[in-house]
Amino acid sequence: MATINPERLLATFLDLVQIDSPTGQEAELAAYCKQVLEEAGCTINLEALTEVPNGNSGNVVATLPAFSGVVQRDGVAVPQQPRPSVPLYFSAHMDVVEPCRGIKPQIKDGVIYSDGTTVLGGDDKAGLAAIIEMIRCLVEAEAKGEAHPEIGILFTAQEEVGLQGAKALGKEAFRDAQGALCYVLDAAGKPGLVVNGAPFHYSYRAEFKGVAAHAGIAPEKGVSAIKAAAQAVQALPQGRLDEESTTNVGFIKGGTAGNVVAAACLVTGELRSQSKDKLLAHQARIEEILKSSPVEDDTRAGAVEVTVEWKANYEGFFAPEDSPQVELAMRAARKLGLEARTEISNGGADTNVFSSFGLAAVSLGCGMDYVHSTEERLVIKDLENLARWALAIVRESFG
């Protein structure tokens, strides 16, 4: 039975983090991933490599064909009959948040850091490296007659700016794989952690339109959109709304000059909830507040117009502990001696998108720590355990 090669795995990770791949500029990294997967025996979906909007690269989508295995009978290698199965998907994203150019990885006491001027890029190149190593191990195991199911590989672009690469794949691409298990290697926490739920996420733009006037000569002729927006924001709920829901005002912009009553003001915000029903109820309340807040002492009723536009950024998901995708990952983790556990996240990932496409998706803890900061680090042992875990999930699924 082939096992992971720790030296090769580490070398792959160090290669990956030293390839610049800020969001929207993943082309060089995509070419690297395409090459190593092809060399390992995967077929590449060339259509997926076409550009995702606002970037120089698309997604790397690959398939490792199923292998039915070989047994020895009287000294003769006999191929096994093909087993019916649906693909088992593994995913990670290629883009990295800034500052991520010219990463210089440092290793000290079994931990990988950047040099302190950039992020490390373990989010999510730990996931990429582990999946690549898992594929290489499966191919090596084929030479020893070991069977495995078809493996689908989904390396996405522009995850960090609203899961754009995953969305670009489209539901139609998974029409024949409904219910297939999908593991997204992109969560903080030690390997063994299964993120089995994440929220619905909506955002809004509220545009306030008042009446401009000279603030010194004729202020009474103006109606301040900024004042109306400020009163609305003051009335809005903030932070944690209930045990499953949060909201935030993120951006306010208005006015043209200090001596002009502001005719326009823009307010943006977000709303998250694990419950769709609660999200819709909070959405209605927020919209009512935004549209109904008056301007104090305003004698020109109706002078402030408010329009609110909502965007569904992604749908939520929840997988019970006895669901196939969670149970398989937990069983594989326990066999490796990892601490198997579940957690609900209030952040989104490609997992949300793949779940909405009909895949049975969850996220896996990768060991990444202090992500999105120049203090980011990754314990080498966690990277190794992540690759072992991915490999164990495949073997458990086909045992």
Cα separation of 295 and 308, whole Å? 17
Amino acid letter, residue 21: S
Question: Do residues 266 and 254 make contact, with C-beta atoms less than 8 angstroms apart?
Answer: yes
Q: Which residues pair with 56 in a beta bridge?
A: none
Residue 150 falls in the annotated catalytic set: no
Find the catalytic residue in 124, 133, 159, 207: 159
Closest by Cα among 22, 25, 12, 332 to 191: 332
Find the catalytic residue in 95, 124, 350, 382: 95
Residue 159 falls in the annotated catalytic set: yes
b/e burial code for range 126-162 (CB count within 10 A of at least 16 → b)? bbbbbbbbbbbbbbbbbeebbbbbbbbbbbbbbbbeb
Provide the 10 A C-beta neighbour count for residue 29: 25
Which sequence positions are flagged as catalytic? 95, 159
